Amino acid sequence: MNRSEPFQLPKIVPTPSRFRNPIGKFRLHRTDDCIACGKCVEVCPYGVHVIKRGRVVIARHDRCVGPECPEPCYAVCPVNALSIRRNPDFDVMGDARWTPDLLVSTWHMAEFGRVPEKGYEYRTGGSGGGFDKLRLVFPKETGTSPKQTDEPDIGVVLNRRNDTAHRIRIEVPFYGGGMSYGSVSIHTMLSRIKAAAALGTFCCTGEGGYPDELKPYDHNVITQVATGLFGVREETIQRVRIVEFKYAQGAKPGLGGHLLGDKVTPGVARMREAVAGYPLFSPFPFHSVYSVEDHKKHVDWIKAVNPKALVSVKVSTPTDVDMVAVGSYYAGAHIIHLDGSYGGTGAAPDIAKKNIAMPLEYAVPKVHRFLQEEGVRDRITVIASGGIRTPHDMAKVIALGADGICTGTADLVALECIRCHNCESGRGCARGIATTDPELLNLLEVEWGSQRIINMFLAWRSELIRILKKLGMHSLTELVGRTDCLVHLDYLKGR
Amino acid sequence: MPAKYAIHTSTMPHRFQPITRSGIIAWEEGCLKCAVCVKKQCVYGVYDRRGMDPVQMIDSIDNQCMNCLRCVQSCPKELIHKSLNPEYEAMGDAWWRPDIIASLWSQAQTGKIPVSGAGYPGPFSGPGFDAMWTDMSEIVRPTRDGIHGREYISTAVDMGKTPDHLSFDERGNLTGDLPRVADIPLPIILRMPAFGAIGPETMKGWATAAKRLGTLFSLPWETADHELAEFGPWLLPSIAGKGDSVQIPSGARVVEVAYGDGWEAAADRIQNREGAPLVSIRIPMTHDAAETVLSLVKAGVSVIHLEGTMDGRFRDDDEAWVKDGIRAVHLRLVEENLRDGMTLLAGGGISMAEHVPKSIICGADAVVIDFPILIALECRMCRRCTKGLSCPVAVEGAAADWIASRVVNLVGAWQNQLLEVMGAMGIRDVRRLRGEAGRAMFFQELEKETFSAMDQVEEGCDIE
């Protein structure tokens, strides 16, 4: 930030669910035997029960932590009027990567700005590999070493070339990944960008153009130049401080983008300079780039249009991702952004999401090592994305060799995405997140959305700081590439 | 280039209501009769469009529900819930999983590539084919056909022995015989599954599908209805015995003989028939397979069909995967400099579109699919038919034309997915994909390279 005043973190403002019935893991049942003695209200630390006009009612099923509760209401009820069971709705949501536990934990963070106290696994998902099999290893507490009290620095310097482009430092080690106008609603876009601005970081427009509504946040916008060149104009490139080239996307590496006709509303069509109602293809690859020299020409083009802009190169993770990263550095990129194969998308063939290119957990250490061997690791910023769901994933990928991360799906989960995987069909997201339908997009207000995302990231931030302190580190940069701080459960010996 | 091969698909509805992953539970008791009920506000109009299927007495509601949970989260009395469907979870087995079966149903219905929003929902990796990823190329690559390219990706393969060189006389005419090859426009051969409620119409439907696709349908010929002989060029008759008294359908280009005593005599007899069909020898995928294949190729066999179990494993080892077996056989043939003189077909447990490019990367020329063509007909893999019980979706009663369209849809969707994968890695001819292990990434290798050193936790250290 080039501003003179010191950066001020935004405040946590409790921001509950948009829906009348938030979903949690458990459901409590109260029989007519209840004598309204208020014992349950008294013992519950989570505000599940409330007294209303002389009667006790359950206000927040979703806050119940179940058997992990220190003093369960159903055990102390003098008339045994309370019983608990697992909520069937809970198990219908989510999937192996975003388990229902992770969804509800993220909602908790988005509501309260802190990780859940009990009852939910908020650190790892259920994919059975990668991040979900890696664990952070903390040094022994000896009792003699002084407890670290100062707050570790978690900011990230984005320009390491020390050239004439902007000197940009983000206050938190993450920024918002590209989600286009069209794939998500303008309310979702604004929620993300407002949150990014408040957190002293950035958010990317994706490739669907640069809506005028974002103008007040130019200082925190990354605009994307992708193969479709939708809405890319000189003026949009000159407006921002970072320009991102998208060569490929982790969810559909080697495939173009495809916005179905239903989602091309008149507004989207105007923004993309296309015809409403017709599907839009973003081809693959850039047909102007067939070599690393052509890629340099691309970077030079941006630098000619906006000499102060940082250039980020977003690529997928093929076997030769390390070569691609080094090539990008020599072509003049400031940031190499690796998007792993389990990343998000508005629509992609299932076969591509599952099978093409390698998971992020393999790509990051490979690139980190190769850049080190080439002697240029400290001259380029490595940003990782594609399947980072939790603050623990963030710490792990940095320990594997990234400088910072990009998020996308996590932001949408903060806005109450339940991973139904229907973003692409018909009118788009029925919950008003990934849609351009005028009626549906009004289900989500920008103020609410930005505060939810701010809260979630403040929880991520606190958790990362807790992790760094526990590791005895004073700066996030100390964690980069420290694979000795990680253990893989399949290889763990003698424990 | 020759004319572009395209599979024409069109929606072919299910005959029965498919089993869904979850169901709606809506209670009436305690309903407030709100003026604007949440059911009226369903974005997908599910509650308005619901209807009772008269044959099965099943409410169609669960098949229309898109799981947005808005009604669940908005009903003031919390009377609507969703719950996982135990019938769905019980479908199939560990290899033919419910999600795989449901995806095959939908592809057979629509003929379209499964596309969805949000990132990959499944496990990090898995056994067999799930332990590999395919490569992509960031910049230098030909275009994916169909959208904007003039060039296209070829999926045609030749079966048989292609010569390593051609000879010409002084006038430039070819000398010697042309090689005997059978070409198919895509690397997928249909095969009658080992069980199923299969009737005469089913067989006719599958043969019709093979004809429409231009590929082959493999079936045990000794017990088959010989009226199918009209599909001659699209059949791959499989002979179990010595083949002395069997009438080979006229026009058949390839005939399969099971490996066993007397295979040589049977092969000889078939090759000397009119039309001289190619002989394919089917051998079980075992740890000895590579040596058996070598001896067969050295004896002049030009097509070999390696067959694993229906759950993608070796026939003599539950812990060994067809994927690795194909690789081993392919590499052994390459080592002996024999690979280009023969065609390797692989089958057993091929259940998803991605298994086609993955088998080919491991070294097969083409794959043989069996149960997918049954699941395309709504089979639920309940195996009631193997116990002599009636089929819940009455496969044997389906009309041949419906069957053919469903199978064409499924294979059309698979071919399109093959093109996507090849397009992403920049390969324009499926024959070039064979054995290109450099175009794949293997779980065991990556896992070891990345994580094997992360194996230490000192006594007393905390992990999280």
Considering the domain boundaries, does residue A493 fall inside one?
no
Considering the domain boundaries, does residue A470 fall inside one?
yes
Preceding amide of A146 cis, omega within 30:
no
Q: Give the integer Cα–Cα distance in Å for B82 and B22.
A: 7
Q: Are B354 and B421 in contact (CB under 8 A)?
A: yes
Q: Does B140 touch chain A (CB under 8 A)?
A: yes
* CB neighbour list of residue A151: distance below 8 Å, 6 or more residues apart: A465
CB within 8 Å: A319 and B66: no
Question: Quick one: tokens of B378?
Answer: 């709504």
pLDDT at B243: 67
Query: Which chain A residues touch B147 with a CB distance below 8 Å?
Result: 256, 281, 283
Q: Is the pLDDT of residue A433 over 50?
A: yes
Question: Quick one: tokens of B122?
Answer: 């499944």
CB within 8 Å: B139 and A348: no
Give me the domain span that covers residue A444: 156-488
For residue A54, which phi and psi values (nearest 5 degrees)?
A: 75, 0
Verify that A79 and A166 share a domain, yes or no: no
Q: Does B114 touch chain A (CB under 8 A)?
A: yes
Q: Does B30 touch chain A (CB under 8 A)?
A: no
Whole-number Cα distances in Å, B303 to A235, B292, B381: 62, 13, 31
- Which residue segments constitute the domains of chain B, with CATH numbers given? 22-88 (no CATH), 157-447 (3.20.20.70)
pLDDT at B147: 47
- Among chain A residues, the shortest Cα distance to B77 is held by A21
Q: Does B447 touch chain A (CB under 8 A)?
A: yes
Q: Are A104 and A111 in contact (CB under 8 A)?
A: no
ipTM of model: 0.94
Considering the domain boundaries, does residue A169 fall inside one?
yes
To the nearest whole Å, the CA of A435 is away from the closest chain B CA by 12
CB within 8 Å: B455 and A492: yes
Considering the domain boundaries, does residue A144 fall inside one?
no
Whole-number Cα distances in Å, A112 to A11, A452, B154: 11, 9, 55
CB within 8 Å: A355 and B73: no
Verify that A206 and A296 share a domain, yes or no: yes
Query: Which chain A residues touch B420 with a CB distance below 8 Å?
Result: 255, 349, 351-352
Q: Give the integer Cα–Cα distance in Å for B10 and A35.
A: 63
Q: Give the integer Cα–Cα distance in Å for A222 and A204.
A: 4
CATH number of the domain encompassing residue A466: 3.20.20.70
Q: How many CB atoms lie within 10 A of CB A442?
A: 11
Nearest Cα neighbor of A90 from A62, A57, A49 is A62
CB within 8 Å: A362 and B454: no
pLDDT digits (tens, 9 = 90+) for A124-153: 999 999 999 999 999 987 666 666 678 999
Looking at chain B from residue 334 to 363, which residues have their Cβ under 8 Å from any Cβ of chain A?
Answer: 352-354, 358
pLDDT digits (tens, 9 = 90+) for A337-349: 999 999 999 889 9
Comparing A257 with B195, the larger pLDDT belongs to B195
Selected residue of A57, A297, A350 to mutate for chain B interface (largest B Cβ count, 10 A): A350
Query: Which chain B residues touch A255 with a CB distance below 8 Å?
Result: 144, 420, 423-424
Q: Does B118 touch chain A (CB under 8 A)?
A: yes
Nearest Cα neighbor of A135 from B415, B370, B87, B461 is B461
Q: Is the pLDDT of residue A296 over 90?
A: yes
For residue B173, which phi and psi values (nearest 5 degrees)?
A: -90, 150
CB within 8 Å: A421 and B139: no
Residue B428 φ/ψ region, left for φ over 0, alpha for ψ in the -120 to 50 degree band, beta for the rest: alpha
Query: Which chain B residues touch A258 with a CB distance below 8 Å?
Result: 115
Q: E-strand spans in A319-433?
A: 335-339, 348-349, 381-385, 404-407
State how far Cα B387 lies from the chain centre: 25
- What is the full per-residue pLDDT of chain B (464 aa) written as tens digits? 567 899 999 999 999 999 999 999 999 899 999 999 999 999 999 999 888 777 777 788 899 999 999 999 999 999 999 999 999 999 999 999 999 999 999 999 999 999 999 999 999 999 999 999 999 988 755 555 544 455 788 999 999 988 878 889 999 998 887 778 899 999 999 999 999 999 999 999 999 999 999 999 999 998 898 899 999 999 999 998 776 677 889 899 999 999 998 899 999 988 888 788 999 999 999 999 999 999 999 999 999 999 999 999 999 999 999 999 999 999 999 999 999 999 999 999 999 999 999 999 999 999 999 999 999 999 999 999 999 999 999 999 999 999 999 999 999 999 999 999 998 988 889 999 999 999 999 999 999 999 999 999 988 899 99
Verify that A160 and A76 share a domain, yes or no: no
Q: Give the integer Cα–Cα distance in Å for A44 and A70.
A: 9
pLDDT digits (tens, 9 = 90+) for A108-126: 999 999 999 999 999 999 9
To the nearest whole Å, the CA of B63 is away from the closest chain A CA by 14
For residue A187, which phi and psi values (nearest 5 degrees)?
A: -65, -40
Selected residue of A260, A345, A356, A436 to mutate for chain B interface (largest B Cβ count, 10 A): A356
Considering the domain boundaries, does residue A67 fall inside one?
yes
Nearest Cα neighbor of B355 from B104, B6, B12 is B104
Verify that A432 and A283 share a domain, yes or no: yes
Question: Quick one: tokens of B138?
Answer: 């960031």
pLDDT digits (tens, 9 = 90+) for A206-253: 988 899 999 999 999 999 999 888 889 999 999 999 999 999 999 998
DSSP A212: G
Q: Which helix (H) or strand (E) holds A83?
A: strand A82-86
pLDDT at A494: 56
Q: Is the pLDDT of residue A377 over 80?
A: yes
Looking at chain B from residue 392 to 431, which residues have their Cβ under 8 Å from any Cβ of chain A?
Answer: 417, 420-421, 423-426
Query: Which chain A residues touch B463 with a CB distance below 8 Å?
Result: 135-138, 487
Considering the domain boundaries, does residue A111 fall inside one?
no
Considering the domain boundaries, does residue A131 fall inside one?
no
Query: Which chain B residues touch A254 with a CB distance below 8 Å?
Result: 136-137, 141, 423-426
CB within 8 Å: A129 and B83: no
Q: Give the integer Cα–Cα distance in Å for B339 and B324.
A: 17
CB within 8 Å: A427 and B43: yes
- Among chain B residues, the shortest Cα distance to A249 is held by B138
Q: How many CB atoms lie within 10 A of CB B91?
A: 20
The answer to which of A362-366, A434-438, B374-378, B408-412 has the lowest mean pLDDT is A434-438
Looking at chain B from residue 70 to 109, which residues have their Cβ under 8 Å from any Cβ of chain A?
Answer: 70, 72-76, 78, 81-84, 103
Verify that A296 and A414 share a domain, yes or no: yes
Verify that A35 and A163 share a domain, yes or no: no
> How many domains, chain A?
2
Query: Which chain B residues touch A21 with a CB distance below 8 Å?
Result: 72-75, 78
Q: Does B121 touch chain A (CB under 8 A)?
A: yes
Verify that A56 and A167 share a domain, yes or no: no
pLDDT at A33: 96
Verify that A74 and A178 share a domain, yes or no: no
Verify that A44 and A179 share a domain, yes or no: no
- Among chain B residues, the shortest Cα distance to A131 is held by B124
Selected residue of A17, A18, A21 to mutate for chain B interface (largest B Cβ count, 10 A): A21
Verify that A433 and A333 share a domain, yes or no: yes
pLDDT digits (tens, 9 = 90+) for A49-75: 999 999 999 999 999 999 999 999 999
To the nearest whole Å, the CA of A4 is away from the closest chain B CA by 39
Q: Give the integer Cα–Cα distance in Å for B334 and A84.
A: 63
Nearest Cα neighbor of B294 from B360, B339, B256 is B339
Query: Which chain B residues touch A331 with a CB distance below 8 Å?
Result: none
CATH number of the domain encompassing residue A79: 3.30.70.20
Considering the domain boundaries, does residue A42 fall inside one?
yes
Q: E-strand spans in A104-191?
A: 134-138, 156-157, 169-170, 174-176
Of A17, A254, A345, the CB nearest to B423: A254
Of A88, A129, A291, the CB nearest to B124: A129
Of A140, A295, A434, the CB nearest to B117: A434
